[in-house]
Amino acid sequence: MSTTVDDMSRRIGAMSSAELAGGRESRVTVGDVTCANPRMVCRDVDVFYGSTQAIKGVSLDIGKNEVVSMIGPSGCGKSTFLRCLNRMNDTIDGCRVTGSIKLDGQDIYDKGLDPVPLRAQVGMVFQKPNPFPKSIYENVAYGPRIHGLTNSKAELDEVIEGSLQKAGLWNEVKDRLDKPGTGLSGGQQQRLCIARTIAVSPEVILMDEPCSALDPIATAIIEELIDELRANYSIAIVTHSMQQAARVSQRTAYFHLGDLIEVGETNQIFTNPKHRLTEDYITGRFG
Amino acid sequence: MQTSTLLIIVLGLMSLAYYVGRKRAIVSAGGAGRISTLHSLPTYYGLYAALWAGIPAILLMALWTAFQDEILVTLVKAELPGSMLEGLTPGAVGLLVNDIKNLASGAIVSRVATPEMQAAADRFSLFSQIAVWAMWLGVLAFAVGGMAFAWARTKPQMRARNRVESIFMVILVVFSSIAILTTLGIVLSVLFESLRFFQEISPLDFFFGTLWSPQTALRADQVGATGAFGAVPLFTGTLMVSTIAMLVAVPIGLMSAIYLSEYAPRRVRSWAKPTLEVLAGVPTVVYGFFAALTVAPFIRELGMSMGLDVASESALAAGLVMGVMIIPFVSSLSEDVINAVPQAMRDGSYALGATQSETIRRVIIPAALPGIVGGVLLAVSRAIGETMIVVMAAGLAANLTANPLDSVTTVTVQIVTLLTGDQEFDSAKTMAAFALGLTLFAVTLVLNVIALQIVRKYREQYE
């Protein structure tokens, strides 16, 4: 990681202002934000909603074939940061992102870059399952159709079967592909949304609390699925459940009030946190 | 001795009763500090007393004013010498009674007053005076009596709140049934008149006849007034004007709804939406003369310049203007359902790399479609029932035509022409209006029921 003088002074400025504001300890990220085989590289990302700053100078890498979990108390900016990674924040009025976020070396906030194909490369699964009010088949076919990924019905059928299989839903729905996706159970709906995301063959999948609306059994199925998906995709997951972060991720990032406090191997974060705020959070002292 | 004065006095007594009842409750509890021993708050005891003072008295007053006249007339008639009423039809008796009343009140009388009539008139005014006094006494007695009754019953353990609330519930039920009963009354009156019409004209002729010429003969030997009641030209005319209106309103309304809800920046929406809704506030008669004086001549000029034969009052002109009138219905109903599509649907689509227009076409419109259809159906029933624009711009000739440049007439226009001016209520011509009204009512009712069903079903989808 190359650090310019300019960069340094900005960090020092941010640090001292945080301390002036009453923070007793450093808000500079503890731990190594980089990883060996990065797919997405984020450096000094600031996000503003109007005049309020939601994210303050966050740097983080998301590596190939790894699951990065982001934890932290509500309102800490972890979802906001996640939504920067596929420019979903563009749809929010008055949201401004600065800093650099690169996908395979390409700056995704580059003026010339169209966010539409980007979102096909960086898919997203939401907190509440949101299948379209269409049939199961049409839900999965939606992405391939709009991107023109397939040339024939047979090819499309193949993509749909493959996606549903990868999402672990094929056996449950193969006999009722023409039934509405909204008629499935919550866990099945969420897997349908994952299948829908996979169908456009993304490189990175972002998951925003994908299990918070599900029961423990459905949650366990999705977590297993996330572990399997790691073989093909990079995954960034925001979660409120520390057990879930510990179970599914290789690296964990702890956010606090818009700052990225600590990043590290999931094991290390949960057994030996370096920063006091991280320790307070994972031991349940707040949040 | 006006009734309104009495009403004001009763209202005054009610407020007195409120004050007294409240005071009494506080005293019976043992002072302001011990209000907690009361079953209800003192206010409820006050309301309880006020209702007892007001409702029986007002009910009595209403009944009295409703029946006083009839009773007085019966009394006066009974005293008239039998020779005066002999051989008179009920209508003539009514005239006589009217004259007596007019004589009593000093208004113009339609005949020379005989001494008997003068005597009857004197009696009538005497009776009226007695009746008014009796009503005053009765009503005030009821008010004071009710207040005393409530006073006697005000004890700390009395459940004043429950009683007051159940009385209020009864009042609410009464008022809502007024609305329902009025609707029912309208339907029944139209229904019975229509049945009388269908006794003269066969429903088959009415619903399937293709000639509409409702001039019935006044004299047996009159020529040129055949009285044909085939309503098909009216139905087709209505259908054509409504179709043209929907062809204008649906695309424009829907597109503006999509623009306003999906694309427009907040600043544009904040003035564009109210501006669009101003259209809904323009009185239909204003649309009517816009159609008749501006649009119809324009279409005629345009048609003539292209060598077409255009009637000066054309279905096209009426339909176009009616369409403009309906735009705000379609747009605001559609905008509501489009806004009701959850943001999660949009996010889901964007996150798959769909563009905004793909999201609108493939996700939002299909999801909102049932609601949009419901809104459009409501607009259709509005178009079918619209009267003023077509009266002024569509014409009166009942042409059975598929040419929108011709003049057509609609069901509503014919109802208006049949019922304006002098009519005889025993001729098929007048009663045809009721049959038309019933048909119109049935059609719009069915459309509304379907629309509401669709809209309701749609609402359940996301809840």
Can you give the residue range of the structural domain that contains A263?
5-17+25-282
Task: Give the mean model confidence (pLDDT) for residues A204-225.
Answer: 90
The answer to whether residue A261 is domain-embedded is: yes
With a cut of 60, say whether residue A19 has pLDDT above it. no
pLDDT at A287: 54
Chain A interface includes B267 (CB < 8 A)? no
Reported as a single tens digit per residue, the pLDDT across A110-151 is 888 888 889 989 999 999 999 998 899 999 999 999 998 888
Per-residue pLDDT tens for B7-47?
A: 999 999 999 999 999 998 888 888 778 888 888 888 999 99
Among A88, A117, A125, whose Cβ lies nearest the Cβ of B350? A88
Q: What is the pLDDT of residue A8?
A: 44
Facing residue for A143 by CB, picked from B344, B347, B352? B352
Q: Kindly state whether residue A147 falls inside one of the protein's structural domains.
A: yes
A228 assigned to some structural domain: yes
> How confident is the prediction for chain A on average, in pLDDT?
86
All structural domains of chain B, each given as residue ranges with its CATH number in brackets, are 3-158 (no CATH), 228-461 (1.10.3720.10)
Angstrom distance (rounded) from CA A61 to CA A41: 5
- Predicted confidence at residue B218, as pLDDT, reads 63
Beta carbons of B362 and A133 less than 8 Å apart: no
Q: What's the pLDDT band for B223 if we cut at 50, 70, 90?
A: low
User: Which residues of A are less than 8 Å from B349 in CB distance?
Assistant: 132, 142
Does the distance separating the beta carbons of B266 and A146 come in below 8 Å? Answer: no
Would residue A71 count as lying in a domain? yes
Calculate what percentage of chain B has a pLDDT beyond 90.
33
Q: How many structural domains are present in chain A? A: 1
Residue B382 contacts A where some CB pair is shorter than 8 Å? no
Give residue-wise pLDDT tens across range B174-210: 999 999 999 999 999 999 989 988 988 888 888 888 8
Domain of A33, CATH number, reads 3.40.50.300
Residue A287 lies in a domain: no
In A, which residues are within 8 Å of B363 by CB distance?
132, 142
Is A128 part of a structural domain of the chain? yes
Within-domain flag for A235: yes
Chain B residues within 8 A of A128 when measuring between CB atoms: 344
Q: Tokens for B83, please give them.
A: 């020779």
The pLDDT tens digits of the residues spanning B287-320 come to 988 988 999 889 889 988 988 888 878 889 999 9
**How far apart, in whole angstroms, are the C-alpha atoms of residue B166 and residue B163?**
5
Among the ranges given (A14-18, A262-266, B95-99, B317-321), the one the predictor scored with the smallest mean pLDDT:
A14-18
Mean pLDDT check: name the lowest of A21-30, B143-152, B197-206, B232-241. Answer: A21-30
